């Protein structure tokens, strides 16, 4: 039995189409749900996602590529650098 609670705040509305999309693995659907729950101005950082979701670099990269391939995610192909030659956030 599914237990449903009445929500009084701090929730995310996710379109059912995402969960019905057969092109996505269950893991990619979960990642997308998590990403959609973040604030609009939140920056995606691999290291933070790896720690928060307890996944490895390769799995996270594969899931992000899966989301990109079916059109749920856009990413820059190259990671930029700031004025001190440090890597900037990969969008």
Phi/psi for 84 (5° steps) reads -105, 15
Torsion of CA 75, 26, 16, 32, to 10 degrees: -30
Q: Is residue 67 part of a domain?
A: yes
pLDDT of residue 90: 56
Residues of the chain with pLDDT under 70: 76-81, 85-91
Q: Is residue 36, in this structure, part of any structural domain at all?
A: no
Residue 84 has a pLDDT of 72
Give the pLDDT score at 80.
67
Q: Is residue 10 in a domain?
A: no
Task: Give the whole-angstrom CA distance, residue 40 versus residue 63.
Answer: 20
Q: Is residue 1 part of a domain?
A: no
pTM of the model: 0.78
C-alpha dist (Å) from residue 45 to 18, 37, 52, 72, 87? 22, 15, 11, 17, 11
- Give the pLDDT score at 75: 74
Is 3 within the bounds of a domain? no
- What is residue 79's predicted lDDT score, i.e. its pLDDT? 64
The pLDDT assigned to 8 comes to 84
**Residue 90 lies inside a defined structural domain of this protein:** no
* 50 inside domain: yes
Task: List the domain range (segments joined by +) for residue 68.
Answer: 43-75
The torsion angles phi and psi of 71, rounded to 5 degrees, stand at 95, 15
Based on the structure, what is the number of domains in the chain?
1
């Amino acid at each position: 039995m599914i237990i449903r609670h009445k929500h009084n705040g701090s929730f995310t509305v996710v379109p059912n189409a995402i969960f019905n999309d057969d092109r996505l693995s269950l893991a990619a659907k979960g990642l997308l749900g998590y990403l959609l729950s973040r604030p609009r101005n939140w920056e995606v950082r691999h290291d933070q996602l790896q720690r928060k979701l307890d996944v490895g670099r390769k799995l996270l990269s594969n899931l992000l590529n899966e989301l990109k391939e079916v059109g749920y995610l856009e990413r820059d192909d190259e990671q930029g650098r700031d004025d001190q030659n440090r890597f900037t956030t990969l969008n």
